[in-house]
């Protein structure tokens, strides 16, 4: 199983394409190594793709926990009052999982972390108009047409990563906070080198954001400092 691993700003990231899990023997081999809880989550998925994504999330959780001398089948996952999953007996280890289409992403840190991955499909201006702040939407449509899709998925993944790091999820509406991008040199933003600033009054904490692009997937990671 090919897992991409990298670390930046104290956050350990793990990425997995689930194509190999389409092989029954490979799927079963990893499935048998999972905890009863993860296997139940996999079994509850209605589609084969959903089962592979759920198993892939378990594989990355296991891979990340190995860095701490732990295994997925050895830990208990609990949820905070806001529903965010945590390691019951290891509160000092923070993690978050995300998946889209055929890719799974996991982030591990020593402080609250949220991550989101989205496949860069069609530009969704109606969603942007409904869920982005007015200034974000204006920034989006002011970009050259060939860059609008890129900007949309950057904003969407950044928003999701922040909503997840707070633990509020969709209880925090995407238009309750906004992002601003700094200047960028050259014709492209990849790899993302722009300064990202969040304007929010959800709390008084400081957050750091990182962005990545891989095989058409946009990723954002948010860490509470």
Q: CB count, 10 Å around CB of 68?
A: 15
Buried b (16+ CB within 10 A) or exposed e, 128-153: beebbbeebbebbeeeeeeebbbbbb
Share above pLDDT 70 across residues of the chain, in percent, rounded to a whole number: 95
* Distances in whole angstroms, Cα of residue 101 to Cα of each of 56, 125, 152, 177: 12, 20, 17, 27
Domain ranges of the chain: 3-110, 116-224
Q: What's the confidence (pLDDT) of residue 187?
A: 47
Distance of CA 86 to the CA centre of its chain: 16
Least-confidence region, from 39-43, 103-107, 108-112, 191-195: 191-195
Q: Give the mean model confidence (pLDDT) for residues 62-83.
A: 92
Q: What's the confidence (pLDDT) of residue 83?
A: 75
Query: 67, 84 in Cβ contact below 8 A?
Result: no
Least-confidence region, from 8-12, 65-69, 104-108, 157-161: 8-12
The chain-wide mean pLDDT, for the chain, equals 93
Share above pLDDT 90 across residues of the chain, in percent, rounded to a whole number: 85
The CATH superfamily label for domain 116-224 reads 4'-phosphopantetheinyl transferase domain (3.90.470.20)
Q: So what CATH class is 3-110? A: alpha beta
Q: Do domains 3-110 and 116-224 have the same CATH topology?
A: yes
């Amino acid at each position: 199983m090919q897992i991409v691993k990298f670390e930046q700003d104290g956050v350990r990231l793990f990425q997995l394409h689930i194509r190999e899990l389409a092989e029954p023997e490979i799927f079963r081999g990893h499935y048998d190594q999972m905890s009863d809880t993860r296997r139940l989550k996999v079994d509850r998925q209605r589609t084969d793709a959903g089962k592979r994504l759920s198993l892939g999330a378990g594989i990355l959780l296991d891979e990340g926990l190995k860095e701490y001398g732990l295994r997925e089948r050895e830990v208990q996952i609990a949820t905070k009052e806001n529903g965010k999953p945590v390691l019951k007996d290891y509160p000092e280890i923070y993690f978050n999982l995300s998946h889209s289409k055929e890719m799974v992403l996991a982030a591990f840190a020593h402080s609250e972390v949220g991550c989101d991955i989205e496949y860069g499909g069609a530009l969704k201006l109606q969603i942007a108009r409904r869920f982005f702040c007015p200034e974000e939407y204006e920034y989006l449509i002011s970009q050259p047409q060939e860059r609008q899709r890129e900007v949309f998925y950057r904003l969407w993944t950044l928003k999701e990563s922040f909503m997840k790091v707070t633990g509020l999820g969709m209880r925090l509406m995407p238009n309750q906070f906004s992002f601003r991008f700094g200047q960028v040199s050259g014709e492209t933003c990849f790899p993302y080198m722009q300064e990202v600033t969040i304007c929010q009054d959800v709390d008084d904490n400081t957050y750091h954001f990182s962005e990545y692009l891989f095989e058409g997937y946009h990723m954002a990671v948010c860490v509470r400092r």
